[in-house]
Amino acid sequence: MAETMEDYKDELEHSFREVKEGDIIAGTVIGVSEEEVALDLKYYTQGIVKAEDWSNDPNFRIMEDVHPGDVVKATVKKTDDGNGNILLSKKEANDVLVWEKLNEYLDEKTELTVKIAGLVPSGVVAYLEGIRGFIPASQLSLSYVDVTDEWLGREVAVRVITVDESRKKLVMSAKVILKERQQEEYNRRIAMMAPGTVMEGTVESLMPYGAFVDLGDGISGLVHISQISHRRIGKPSEVLSQGQKVKVKILNTNDNKVSLSMKALEEEMVDTDRPREAEEYISHEKASTNLGDLLSKIKL
């Protein structure tokens, strides 16, 4: 089919649009060198981003981090760099657009991977979208990290937890993701616990309403006071003590909470130990003390 001018309408409109200093425009990477990146702007000339105008991240490596086909936004610094190209800065555009992006990450709870780039008192530094972010030592792991030296250069999965553009403040957390994964694993293990299963555990705490029993693998269950003993008790400490080994039966795992019973095992033991009723013996022979009957069975 023959091509017409209509087929090139968008390209023509782009090529004749006016580009001014300060504009933020999009382009596709068409060339990468140690000194600069060339962008196709769908314009009569190409755009050039110098390596030093690409990112604020000290770990940025132009030959490793930029690839042909990448689509980026950059700010026009000069409409002519002296060689007929448009001189651009991705860093300047990033400073304008990035906070909107960071707020999206915050609202959508996006999981991201960052590389620890520096150490500071009470935490570490990592760059996200070219912005310097802080990860407190309390948010690096499930427990507080006293020594952060070994974290330098490590990649970690994080979520954005604070974005404050006015103060240029970005805070991230790895702990929130680790806690979610820990909870998912906990829920998975509980889902595998079948009601009716008998387990052995250790009494870890006593409450007025019952006893919590440690079943291992980080799982605890509650034996309600009504399920501790067949006889009526006023408080769990009447029959249980902290650290005591007990056998329990799983009643249910509703809402990922394990309900246990000791009374159910007592009842089962009572049923098992109950003596069987004496069976009535029925003889099918005719009972007799007749001397003639006895003599009839003796062969002479």
The average confidence (pLDDT) of the chain is 86
Segment 236-246 mean pLDDT: 95
pLDDT of 1 strictly over 80: no
Q: What is the pTM of this model?
A: 0.63
pLDDT at 281 over 50: no
CA neighbor of 193 nearest in space, from 111, 133, 129, 257: 257
What's CA 3's distance to the chain center, in Å?
A: 53
Two tokens at 31? Answer: 């060339």
- pLDDT of 75 over the 80 cut: yes
- For the cut 90, the answer to whether the pLDDT of residue 299 exceeds it is no
Q: How confident is the model at residue 95 (pLDDT cuts 50, 70, 90)?
A: confident
- pLDDT value, residue 296: 52
Residue 164: pLDDT above 70?
Answer: yes
The CA-based dihedral angle spanning residues 82, 85, 87, 93, taken in that order and rounded to the nearest 10 degrees? 170
Per-residue confidence (pLDDT) for residue 287, from 0 to 100: 43
Cite the DSSP H helix spans in 170-290.
175-191, 263-273
**71, pLDDT greater than 90:** yes
Look at residue 177 and tell me whether its pLDDT is greater than 60.
Answer: yes
